[in-house]
Structure 1
Amino acid sequence: MHVLDLPPFEAKIRQISADISEIWDELRRKYVVLTPEEWVRQHVAHYLMAHLGYPRGLLSLERGHRYNQRQKRTDLVALGPAGQPLLLVECKRPTVAITPAVARQAATYNQTLRAPFLLLTNGLTHYCWRVDFERSLNERLAEIPSYAAAVALAGG
């Protein structure tokens, strides 16, 4: 797997067949197929928990939601103390560039979730924004906020 621009962690990986590996997903408490996108998703989840203080119990992987009568899935959502979406994370495989189209996809998902923070990453490049729905403004952040900072900035 790719070396990412995220801290390494002790990943539990098992080989299922010659061309299929699985990685232990701490949040879903099961092994999942190890794809390049899953590698990024697992690194981001671990980074949020171990380095930025996001509570494990308030992280949700591949959460379903409805948008325009269609069922969609977000890669990762961090919830605030009251259970409201706080940070929406869209992960791509390392070989996929974070383009305006990727940003539009995540912003579209966020129209229904209304998370005040949005993170786009391919594991190598990370873009994080604070979203102000009332004023229709997006503020690019220099770094991913810690859980405490995100809660404070979101007003909760």
Structure 2
Amino acid sequence: MIQVTFPQPAFRIKEDEGKELIFDEIRKQWVRLTPEEWVRQNLLQYLIQTKKYPAAFIGVEKEISLAELKKRFDVLIYDSNHQPWMMIECKAMDVELSEKVLEQIVRYNMSVPVPYLVISNGSYTYAWVKKENRLISITDLPEFE
């Protein structure tokens, strides 16, 4: 497990038609503040503020194709050569990070190959590096390449 300490957030939150919205600095738009979105936004701030990953190299909720299915990954980090480098799947804090969650990100990785896979529910974060077609658990997120 990776110890993630979220930085003090400076989120912009508003209410619209009875729903809470949060401004996503990466997507440059207001999005519904769901429990999963709360985890995603805090994790994004950790990546940018603490790990110093450049915001310009982060994609959020982009559509990918899995056979005939259309799915959306949560976060994709590109390396300095603009190649997919790390994929992150976020879940709400009350969702257990089970084998099913790992299988989900592994399926997404078939469509968008990356060397690093991460799953997080805000309370727990796990990461792996792919080497020789195996997933090897790591205890810290890598420095940005």
- Residue 8 of structure 1, CA deviation: 2.9
Q: Secondary structure at the match of 2:74?
A: strand
Contact 1:37-1:93 at 8 Å conserved across structures: yes
Which whole-Å CA distance do the structure 1 matches of 2:118 and 2:9 have between them? 20
- Residue 69 of structure 1, CA deviation: 2.2
* 2:90 is equivalent to residue 74 of structure 1: no
- 1:140 aligns with one of 124, 137, 141: 137
1:106: which partner in 2? 105
What's the TM-score once normalised by structure 2's chain length? Answer: 0.93
Which consecutive aligned stretches of 4+ in structure 1 deviate over 4 angstroms post-superposition?
A: none
Q: How does 1:121-136 map to 2 (within 5 A)?
A: 121-132=120-131, 135-136=132-133
* 2:7 is equivalent to residue 7 of structure 1: yes
1:48: which partner in 2? 47
The structure with the largest helix share of the pair is: 1
Which whole-Å CA distance do the structure 2 matches of 1:5 and 1:121 have between them? 12
Contact 2:63-2:70 at 8 Å conserved across structures: yes
Contact 1:5-1:123 at 8 Å conserved across structures: no
Q: Secondary structure at the match of 2:36?
A: helix
Q: Secondary structure at the match of 1:107?
A: helix
RMSD: 1.3
- Residue 17 of structure 1, CA deviation: 3.7
2:61: which partner in 1? 62
Q: Secondary structure at the match of 2:15?
A: strand
Q: Secondary structure at the match of 2:81?
A: coil
Identity of aligned residues (%): 29
Relative contact order (alpha carbons < 8 A, sep ≥ 6): 1 or 2 greater?
A: 2
What's the TM-score once normalised by structure 1's chain length? Answer: 0.86
Which whole-Å CA distance do the structure 2 matches of 1:8 and 1:97 have between them? 25
- Residue 5 of structure 1, CA deviation: 5.0
Which whole-Å CA distance do the structure 2 matches of 1:17 and 1:66 have between them? 33
Which whole-Å CA distance do the structure 2 matches of 1:131 and 1:108 have between them? 14
Which structure 1 residue ranges, 5 or more long, are not aligned? 152-156
* 2:117 is equivalent to residue 118 of structure 1: yes
Residue correspondences, number: 142
Farther off after superposition, 45-54 or 91-100? 45-54
Contact 2:119-2:127 at 8 Å conserved across structures: yes
Query: CA-to-partner distance for each residue in 1:83-139, whole Å, 9 max, x for gaps?
Result: 11111000000000000000000111011211100110000000011012xx21111
